[in-house]
Chain A
Amino acid sequence: MELIIDEIVAKYNYWIYVVLMMIGFYAMIGKRNLVKKLLGMNIFQTSIILFFVSTGVKKGGGIPIVDKYQALAGGVDAATIVNPLPHVLMLTAIVVGVSVTGVALAVLQRIYKEYGTLEEDEILEKTQR
């Protein structure tokens, strides 16, 4: 029992990401409103982005912005700064997420114009007719 609580407490951030992921996943699959599905997708992507970023964190590490001349002269001590690579990768991932969201919203606008509603079951009803 102790072990489990230790595990959870030690890696609490990962557990939060898992919870976020599940919330997002549930929203995508379980919700009937299309906008809510989209929000779920965003939450899902965000949780993964957070996961990635957190992999670069170090105890006591600072922001990875250094003075150029200092770095050229004395090198950079990796232990003092957080790993910047995941941040950079996640910038890209955020951009991708934003693009997808943008496209999805444009598509939702079209759906709304076509059907007048954004509830999935109502739309399906209209298409069956």
Chain B
Amino acid sequence: MSATNLHLFVLVVPLLSAFAVNLLGRSSKQWIAPLVLGSLAFSVIGSLVTLARVVEHGTLRYTVGNWQPPFGIELVVDPLSALMMVLISVVAFLASFSSLKSVEQELPGREPFFFTLYLILIAGLFGLVLTGDAFNLYVLLEITSITTYGLIAMGRGRAALSSFNYIIMGSIGACFYLLGIGYIYILTGTLNMADIARILPTLNAPVATATAIAFVLVGLWIKMAFFPLHSWLPNAYSQAPTGAGTMVAPLMTKVTVYLMVRVILTMYTPALVFTHEWITNGAVWAAALAIVCGSVLALGQKDLRRMLTYIIIAEVGYMVGGIFLANANGLTGSILHIVNDALMTLCLFLVVAAIIYRQGTVSLVSLQGIFHRMPFTMAAFTLGAFAMIGVPPTCGFFSKWYLILGGIDGGHWEFVIALVFSSLVNAVLFFRVIELAFFGSLADGQHHEHTPSERHEAPWWMLKPLVLTAALLIVIGLSTGPLVNNVIRLMIPIGF
């Protein structure tokens, strides 16, 4: 390992640890936690170093097996990739603490298998953000998806059926992507992203190019649960084992959004994708619809986890809309929202994991009075809720700022209204929960006598990452300036 391929090792270490977990974990369970946490800690440090290096020196490249691009597969680390690497490693690391505890409770004896899949999934996610080859992307996309199918199927009850549904939908998405790449290959003869970007505009094949773009985008939209292609997500994420949901929910859809950004920015170049007004307008309208429908559907849910999954669907709408606004503010907001939403979702899912650990369910009815039993957990929940609603100085406010500004800049008032509507609905959704948690059982018209209810807080192991994540929400919020200026601005194409 040298300075030139640290970013590769960020991917390799979790991958190798996966095999180690499988082998060593069978003999003794003691091996699992150190391996998982150790490899992810290494990834966190490695990705932070890589980010610093990329910001200072510019894009890093690594050719796999020394086969030169455009024929060989190339790993490209530009500021956006580095940012995503940091995000994935931090979120996975924090989620692992909680997952270790959840899996111990829900899937006793199956930890080696669970964490093998878990680590391979994370390695796959790293690969997705690092690759510079279109077909390699497909392979890694399927790697992450297959491990996710497996993880979800390990749950109880209807999990297997939800996983199967996800398999069907996910495969359709991946196949569409593959088809799109097929078109691109026929047109350009290359699969290297930078090369495609070079060649594609010189061809005079508008219909074929448009079809290629369309297939790839629709494939990715299915994978990220963009309304109305979202039907697999609520079941899959809410019935997955808690440990799986905690890591998958914040990351999978966001990485897929990243893939869409990557495809548009690097492979197709914005000039090609945003040529037609009706494409951008249509996509923004669809995004606005996704936001509104996701929010409204969340209102009807009686289970906290399902409610959160519908909110995820609305948040995907934010990001897709932001990109298709086709202006600097929209793109900045979208990329910033990838980071912010991952953190907010992680915070909320960690809360869910803690509550499930203690009481086995997160139906809204069961949350009455939980503020007194689990004050720290609910305090973190409150912060996560504020972030989702968009209260400054949490991070959620600042990405909303850029997105709304982008909407105003582009004259897309439907998007602005959808965003404001979503904030208001989020306020209703979360305060409904907070109210239930705060008030507990009521006796009409009487003073609530202060009965000290037993404190039954989540275990320390689960509380640490939760509090850290909640604090991160504010820290990242206040650091929005440096984050945007030093990292995200580098990704905005000139002329936007």
Measuring CB to CB, which residues of chain A are less than 8 angstroms from any residue of chain B? Answer: 25, 28, 34, 37-38, 41, 44-45, 48, 51-52, 55, 86, 89, 92-93, 96, 99-100, 103-104, 106-108, 110-111, 114, 123, 127
Contact = CB atoms under 8 A, between A and B. Distances in A.
A111 B135 contact: no
Contacts of A52: 178, 182, 185
17 contacts: A28-B168, A28-B172, A34-B164, A38-B168, A44-B171, A52-B182, A52-B185, A55-B185, A55-B186, A96-B142, A99-B146, A100-B142, A100-B145, A103-B150, A104-B149, A104-B164, A107-B164
B175 A86 contact: no
A111 B158 CA distance: 8
B168 A108 contact: no
A49 B163 CA distance: 24
Contacts of A86: 185
Interface of B: 135, 138-139, 142, 145-146, 149-150, 153, 158, 160-161, 163-164, 167-168, 171-172, 174-175, 178-179, 182, 185-186, 191
The 5 closest A-B pairs by CB, nearest first: A110-B160, A96-B142, A107-B153, A111-B160, A104-B167
Contact of B146 (A55, A92, A100): A100
Contacts, number: 73
A94 B7 CA distance: 29
B161 A127 contact: yes
B468 to A, nearest CB: 34
Given A48-B182, A93-B178, A103 B167 contact: yes
B146 A41 contact: no
B146 A111 contact: no
Given A28-B172, A41-B172, A45-B175, 18 more contacts: A41-B167, A44-B171, A48-B178, A92-B139, A96-B138, A96-B146, A99-B146, A100-B142, A100-B149, A100-B171, A104-B167, A106-B153, A107-B149, A107-B160, A108-B164, A110-B160, A111-B164, A127-B161
Contacts of B182: 48, 51-52, 55
Contacts of B168: 28, 37-38, 41
Contact of A45 (B145, B146, B171): B171
Contacts of A107: 149, 153, 160, 163-164, 167
Contacts of B138: 93, 96
Contacts of B185: 52, 55, 86
B183 to A, nearest CB: 9
A55 B185 CA distance: 9
Contacts of B149: 100, 103-104, 107
A38 B160 CA distance: 14
A51 B179 contact: yes
A28 B167 CA distance: 11
Nearest to A88: B135
B146 A103 contact: yes
A127 B162 CA distance: 12
B207 to A, nearest CB: 14
